[in-house]
Amino acid sequence: MSDVPAVAGYAALPARPVDPARFTEEGLYAATRRPVESASTLLPDAYTSPEFHALEQERVFATGWVAVGCTADVAGPGACLVAEVAGRSVIVTRDRAGELRAFHNVCRHRAATLLPPDAEHVGRGDRIRCPYHAWAYDLDGACLGTPLFEGSDIPAGQEAVFDTAPARAFDRADHGLLPVAVDSWGFLVFVSLDADPGPLAAHLGDLPQRFAAYRLEQWLPQRRRTYDVAANYKLVGENFMEYYHLPWVHPELSKVSRFSDHYRWQGRGMYTGMCTTPVSRNTDAGGWDGLDPVRSLTGQDADSGRFVWLFPSTALVVLPNHAFVLFNRPVGPARTVETAVLLAHPDSLEHPDRDAALDQLEKFWDLVNRQDLEIVERVQDGIRNPAYRGGRLCFRFEEPLHRFQNMVVDRMVGVHRVPDGDAEEMTRMFPGDRRDQPGSATTP
């Protein structure tokens, strides 16, 4: 018999630990499937169990589109980035016609890894060459040279050693690199390990229309940082999705992104979306000012911050004068490697003191991000406690979490669907006027 005290609704939550064989059962997630006003969080095992993590890699990360980098990283033929998706290394590059290409980072001969994780170019002659036996591949994945099998690219004077006469029924055309689906939107590159992933446009939903005025395809990376996070990637995302924690975790940010200025901003698509409007001016602690805004922005776009969590693991923040992206790579149930990229449009980079402005923006985002990571690591510590079996969602503030967690549940139980959005383009997250801010004399 459990020693956990009787709490309303608590008995309906799964006991811990959960049998991993149940992770694909719809009934296990009944409390999370309820309408948001009566729902509970995703079960704790989803953040702590190695078995859940392994299954999630296959059912979430290997079955849909995942943002892995920036288009500027693969700007021309031979430029490349190496990403890890669902524990598998993938090469993204451009072929000689400028088309995006992606391949499993595996030689077709004896499976050696072709390029290291930090590779920025495929190599000499714009060819991908295996470091083991020198098999070579073109930028479209075609096999170009196989020294032992067909006599190509043999070191001078060693022709007799590489006599190919015994080789039978070998055709280079059958041994090209293993392809991976790849596409882009704006400044983001996506890959999918699924053999039939469906169009990226279906995954993005209405985001391309919502961001049309920003001309995101022209934005360029300016600063990068990497963070090693002792927490599950979903905790990183769920923290990003809500402003409930803002006054207590982010005293500096709450001065330029006021508690009462937040709205839900999400339509149909595999994402959660929020915005803050209007964007407040900098304080002594920093803020989002500095660079000039993109000249094509008008109306609300010219004075709003857009915050989007792209399923499954990418945070996208777009302001009128810069963007901030967090690529989150889960490497275990309690560890995430996060790559932060600060980007700007060429209009904004015309600012006469752009380097100082970029430095200030990077410093401010680093402060905000470190505050977030400290708190999510504390959540990871707490969620390991077997006494905790899940918590009640605060429905008004945490609807985006409910949306995201149900996307995860969908994939875990084998359902593939794109959620619809709100009826209104913007829904105030905190009804009432600005006196509703926590700490106000009129706050209930």
In tens, the pLDDT along 56-76 reads 999 999 999 999 999 999 999
Model confidence band, residue 185 (pLDDT cutoffs 50, 70, 90) = very high
Q: For helices 233-240 and 395-412, what crossing angle results, to 10°?
A: 150
Model confidence band, residue 264 (pLDDT cutoffs 50, 70, 90) = confident
- Residues spanned by the domain of 127: 66-182
Inside any domain, residue 223: yes
Most confident option among 2-6, 416-420, 427-431: 416-420
Are residues 243 and 323 located together in one domain of the fold? yes
**Residue at a domain's end among 146, 167, 182:** 182
Q: For helices 354-383 and 233-240, what crossing angle results, to 10°?
A: 120
Inside any domain, residue 35: no
State the CATH number of the domain containing residue 426: 3.90.380.10
Average pLDDT, the chain: 87
How many whole angstroms separate alpha carbon 327 and alpha carbon 363?
18
Inside any domain, residue 4: no
- Whether residue 33 contacts residue 146, with contact meaning beta carbons closer than 8 Å, is answered with no
Are residues 219 and 321 located together in one domain of the fold? yes
pLDDT digit string, tens, across residues 134-156: 889 999 999 987 775 654 556 67
Are residues 308 and 270 located together in one domain of the fold? yes
Are residues 261 and 356 located together in one domain of the fold? yes
- Residue 439: the pLDDT is 37
Q: How far is CA 21 from CA 18, 24, 52, in A?
A: 8, 7, 10
Inside any domain, residue 31: no
Q: Is 308 exposed, middle or buried (0-12, 13-18, 19+ CB in 10 A)?
A: buried
State the CATH number of the domain containing residue 70: 2.102.10.10
Inside any domain, residue 319: yes
Taking 80 as the threshold, does the pLDDT of residue 169 lie above it? no
Are residues 163 and 286 located together in one domain of the fold? no
Residues in the chain: 444
Inside any domain, residue 3: no
Across 127-141, 154-168, 327-341, 372-386, least confident range: 154-168
Report the pLDDT averaged over residues 397-418. Answer: 95
The total of structural domains in the chain comes to 2
Are residues 235 and 370 located together in one domain of the fold? yes
Are residues 226 and 341 located together in one domain of the fold? yes
Inside any domain, residue 242: yes
Inside any domain, residue 410: yes
